Amino acid sequence: MSAAVYQNLQHALALTIEMVEAAMHDNWTLVSELDAQRQRHLQHAHGKFGAEHYETLRLLQAHNGTLLERAAQVRAVVEQQLNQHQYNHRALQTYITSAR
């Protein structure tokens, strides 16, 4: 049983590392696809963790943190671009209204 849990955790870790790489290249579709695969592996291992799985879980958590940080960076850039777009739209509307 523990070997199966270990295998599932190792697969989840490998997928998480792939997800980080895809996120660094802004391939969010691939991140989503890999996450679905990762979730299946984690579900098979869920609740069966022992002390022997600690290091793999720690690495999984660390890489997942990197992934979340990347997502937050991209979200901030998108929010900034959206705010700039809204500002430009308002300025254009004001210009059009005043030109009439």
Instruction: Give tens-digit pLDDT for 7-16.
Output: 999 999 999 9
| Residue 49 CA neighbour count, 13 Å, CB half | 15
Query: Residue 26: its pLDDT value, please?
Result: 95
DSSP string, 11-24: HHHHHHHHHHHHHH
Q: How confident is the model at residue 32 (pLDDT cuts 50, 70, 90)?
A: very high
Total domain count for the chain?
1
Q: DSSP character for 7? A: H
12 in Cβ contact with 45 (< 8 Å): yes
Q: Is the per-residue pLDDT at 1 higher than 60?
A: no
Where in the sequence is the domain holding 19, given as residue range(s)?
A: 2-99
- Average pLDDT score, the chain: 91
